[in-house]
Amino acid sequence: MSVATSLIEDQPARILPTPAETLYQFNESPLLARQSQQESNARSYPRRIPLALKRAKGIYVEDVEGRSFIDCLAGAGTLALGHNHPVVIEAIQQVLTDELPLHTLDLTTPVKDQFVQDLFGLLPQVLAAEAKIQFCGPTGTDAVEAALKLVRTATGRSTVLSFQGGYHGMSQGALSLMGSLGPKKPLGALLSNGVQFMPYPYDYRCPFGLGGAQGVQVNLNYLENLLNDPEAGVQLPAAVIVEAVQGEGGVIPADLDWLRGLRRITEKAGVALIVDEIQSGFARTGKMFAFEHAGIIPDVVVLSKAIGGSLP
């Protein structure tokens, strides 16, 4: 978060260039003290940003001491429309006023049906013509876990290929797909052993020391050989999961030719391609979904967070 001077809409906020920790004394309020005492230590953001918030609007949040901040975290990709967007608030109020059912155990309702029709209208036509939607829990991690169950059930295979630098959530199954070792160390043997990690194409830090078109081609050759060579030591996986733009890995967009090659190779091998659009979907790359830049059609698209406008 960056420090700002006001939460009032008509008064522009002044972004202060110095880290907030050196400008403000984050006082140990009673709320923070109780949170620390009564909540689990598994709270990464509150431990790094000791704030107790009471109000939020647009890009601004205000703490219990009346200080305002620009929220650059945006719910880790959830608040695509900002805090308390008037359109979202109006929709919530309408649902409550009309006494629409809030819990239906997956039974359909007019509102749910309209949502599905609207969502299918956003998909590429080729995908929408054959796609089915699976509703799961409200988090991105839940959606990833559901995708893993789907591809493993459909193929009868259990292993998955993921990419170095990738991030797909913090639950046990999704954490197994993460490239970063730090969060995985405490769990050790509890994580799935059925995940193989591949190099992700990155011009500035090409794992093959090449970059550009040559680095992309070598990367694809490596993957193709891994899937087709019986001496490669890797079982044919149920799926390959990839972010078209790596989020936690550094906001790294995948080379479009590489994505096309990845689709070609997985399709030829009979391996499902899962594209995780949780942080990149819904027009945040200039197209509705990031994979559309490459003109590919994945087998599974994972959506969450921003799709709810900050709500499940």
Say how far apart CA 298 and CA 191 lie, in whole Å.
Answer: 26
Q: Which residues of 192-228 are buried (b: 16+ CB within 10 A; e: fewer)?
A: eeebbebbbbbeeebbeeeeeeebbbbbbeebbebbe
273 and 205, same structural domain? Answer: yes
Q: Is residue 97 part of a domain?
A: no
Residue 114 lies in a domain: no
Q: Do 55 and 175 reside in the same domain of the chain?
A: no
Query: Which among 37, 53, 77 is the end of a domain?
Result: 77
Residue 118 in domain: no
- Residue 92 in any domain: the answer is no
174 in the same domain as 298: yes
pLDDT in tens, 235-244: 999 999 999 9
Could you give the number of structural domains in the chain?
2
pLDDT digit string, tens, across residues 57-114: 999 999 999 999 999 988 888 898 999 999 999 999 999 999 999 889 999 999 999 9
Final residue belonging to a domain, choices 77, 93, 120: 77
- pLDDT of 20 higher than 90: no
Q: Which domain holds residue 38?
A: 2-77
- Quick one: tokens of 196? 């193989």
Same domain as 296, residue 149: yes
Please indicate, yes or no, whether residues 64 and 200 belong to a single structural domain of this protein: no
Residue 257 lies in a domain: yes
Q: Is 209 helix (H, G, I), strand (E, B) or coil?
A: coil
**pTM for the model:** 0.88
Pair 145, 270 in one domain:
yes
Q: How far is it, in rounded angstroms, from Cα 144 to Cα 304?
A: 9
What confidence category does residue 18 fall into, taking pLDDT thresholds of 50, 70 and 90?
very low
Q: 188 burial class (0-12, 13-18, 19+ CB within 10 angstroms)?
A: exposed
| 98 within some domain | no
Answer yes or no: are the C-beta atoms of 254 and 244 closer than 8 Å.
yes
199 half-sphere exposure, CB direction, 13 A CA radius: 21
Given 43, 77, 111, the domain boundary residue is 77
CATH number of the domain at 265, please.
Answer: 3.40.640.10
Q: According to the per-residue pLDDT averaged within each range, which of 40-49, 129-138, 189-198 is highest? A: 129-138
Residue 233 within a domain: yes
Residue with tokens 């359909």: 108
